Amino acid sequence: MITSPLIPDTNPREPFRHLDYLVVDDMPRVRHILIKILRRLGVKGRIDTAEDGAVAWEMLQDYNYDFIICDIRMPRMNGLELKRLVRDSVLFREMPFLLVTGEVSEKTVALALESEFDGCLFKPFRSAVLEQWLLKLAGG
């Protein structure tokens, strides 16, 4: 296949493939699985991880990520607290913030809606569902 630099790539997945991600979860296995799924979906950008919201907030001060995928329940600083800091910051306010949680309860769903996350994934989830959220939130 011959491509021309004058013809833009119209692959609908391209918007999220070249973004840089920060994956925040207190469980190393979940972080590892999310990285694997993102790579399988074709993400070529940087993917860094943090074990809680406090570490993630520090990392945000040093690097300009495009997208946050974050668990809700973590020690030190949970996903709700991190989201509040992100939304209160002029620098990060518009950054897509996708909530990932294993808690499937009415309370968790209500919390996610009230907290104005951009999206919510309930564990376990299929990679196709994550891909749909990435496409939606990355403007694809």
Ordered domains of the chain (ranges, CATH):
14-137 (3.40.50.2300)
Residues of the chain with pLDDT under 70: 1-13, 104-105, 108-116, 140
Express each pLDDT in 88-101 by its tens digit. Answer: 999 998 999 999 98
The per-residue pLDDT for 125 is 87
Tell how strand 67-71 and strand 97-101 pair up.
Answer: parallel
Q: Among residues 24, 15, 17, which one has the least CA distance to residue 83?
A: 24
Calpha distance 121→17 (Å, rounded) = 19
The residue type found at 128 is A
The per-residue pLDDT for 4 is 38
Residue 88 · residue 81 · CB < 8 Å: no
The per-residue pLDDT for 88 is 93
Express each pLDDT in 55-69 by its tens digit. Answer: 999 999 999 999 999
The per-residue pLDDT for 1 is 40
The per-residue pLDDT for 12 is 53
With H, G, I as helix, E, B as strand and everything else as coil, classify residue 123.
Answer: coil
CA of residue 96 relative to chain centroid, distance: 7
